[in-house]
Amino acid sequence: MQSAVNSSAPAPPVGGGRPSPGPGAWRRTGVGRWADPLFAILAALCGVLVLLVLAYMVISTTGTALPVFRSQGISFVTSTDWDPNQGQFGALAFIYGTIVTSAIALIIAVPLSIGVALFSTEYAPKRVRGLLTYAVDLLAAVPSVIYGLWGVFVLLPLFLQPVADFLAKYLGWIPIFKGPASGLSYFGAGIILAIMITPIITALTREVLATVPTADRHAAFALGATRWEMIRAAVLPRSRAGIVGATMLGLGRALGETIAVALLVGSVAKVDASVVRPGYSMAAVIANTFSEATGEHIRALVGIGVVLFVMTVIINMAARAIVWRFNRI
């Protein structure tokens, strides 16, 4: 550690033999006098840049979408009537699709992630834990477009379509599984989203579980608890807030996911109670139709983006607040 510093730290320009001019005195002369405050200002500007960019993002997009917000009013988010040729822009079908696909993703990903995180902190030997962490990180590194490609050409024929058919055939009397079933549906997009957000929720949950003191675990075992009882009584109660935070960060990611959903959601702009039928999502409609849109249609798509932004920011802020509070305890 020290040697690294000696090699890289500058030798101070102290005059040979003369008495030292006192701490810091040498830099108050010449150009050096300005270097320090300038550097401080430069660093502060780079930090403030984050705020400026974020503010400009909100202003620029909202400004573009404003005419559509004005002309549509509240029906922009309450109407399902989306007809760009007639100037009708009701985005409810897309908002509904985003919420439904994200909900499906959470229902599947949260138990799965907690299971994997528990396995790696409470069950796995050290070497297996490292391997598992590596595999989960790998899953997190795969880009959205590759999930989409894999989802359409591998998961769809192998899993999504058969399962959707099965659900419609045997549970079709329940409205949410009513057929005719398609793998390209809320359900299909929800499954691919679940696979995509599992690594995020797992990684955060694992960190939270790791903060539970070992003494608590030993205390539970000493009282005769089985391993599961130990988890129920010592590990989960302490981690609850952290797991909720991790879930909400996963939800934030699921809401904004674009490409994989665009390929798997089925691209039909209507509100359908059945999850095994095709629908649409906010991010997907922007990605799929932006290139052929003109005029008001573009403004409406930007407006959908603004609504999506507001939704994800609220979810993310709440998640950060929960995680921060958890960290302070």
Partner 1 sequence: MSVVDRWPEGRVGPGVSLHDCRPARRRVWRNRRNTVLIVLATLFVLITVGMILVYIVLKGIQTMNWEFLTSSQPFSLRRSGGGFLNGLIGTAIMVGVAAVVSVPLGILGAVYLVEYGKGNWLAKLIRFFADVMTGVPSIFVGLFVYTAMVVNFGFSALMGAVALAIIMMPIVLRSTEEMLKLVPSELKDASYGLGAAKWQTVTKVIIPSAAPGITTGVMLAIARAAGETAPLLLTALGSIQLTAKLWGEPIQALSLAIFDGARNPFAAGQARAWAGALELIIIILVLTVLARVITSRSRLSR
Amino acid in the structure at residue 149: L
Using the minimum distance from each CB to partner 1, give the nearer residue, 130 or 175: 130
Residues 61-90: x where in contact with partner 1 by CB under 8 A, - otherwise, as a string: x-xx--------------------------
Judged by CB under 8 A, does residue 224 bind partner 1? yes
The closest of 97, 103, 84, 104 to 281, measured between CA atoms, is 97
The closest of 60, 96, 7, 104 to 112, measured between CA atoms, is 104
User: Residue written as tokens 């009708």?
Assistant: 88
Judged by CB under 8 A, does residue 234 bind partner 1? yes
Judged by CB under 8 A, does residue 27 bind partner 1? yes
Using the minimum distance from each CB to partner 1, give the nearer residue, 16 or 24: 24
* Residue 226 C-beta: closest distance to partner 1, Å: 4
Alpha helices in 119-213 (DSSP H): 126-141, 144-150, 161-171, 186-210
CB atoms within 10 A of CB 150: 16
Single residue of 15, 46, 74, 292 touching partner 1 by CB under 8 A: 46
Q: How many residues bind partner 1 (CB under 8 A)?
A: 110
Residues 89-148 that bind partner 1 (CB under 8 A): 111-112, 114-116, 118-120, 123, 132, 135-139, 141-148
CA distance 286 to 258: 9
The closest of 96, 98, 101, 308 to 189, measured between CA atoms, is 101
> Can you read off the two tokens belonging to residue 8?
């890289």
* Residue 87 C-beta: closest distance to partner 1, Å: 20
* Residue 172 C-beta: closest distance to partner 1, Å: 26
CA distance 110 to 251: 10
CA distance 281 to 298: 16
Single residue of 84, 216, 271, 297 touching partner 1 by CB under 8 A: 216
Judged by CB under 8 A, does residue 8 bind partner 1? yes
Judged by CB under 8 A, does residue 31 bind partner 1? no
* Residue 78 C-beta: closest distance to partner 1, Å: 22
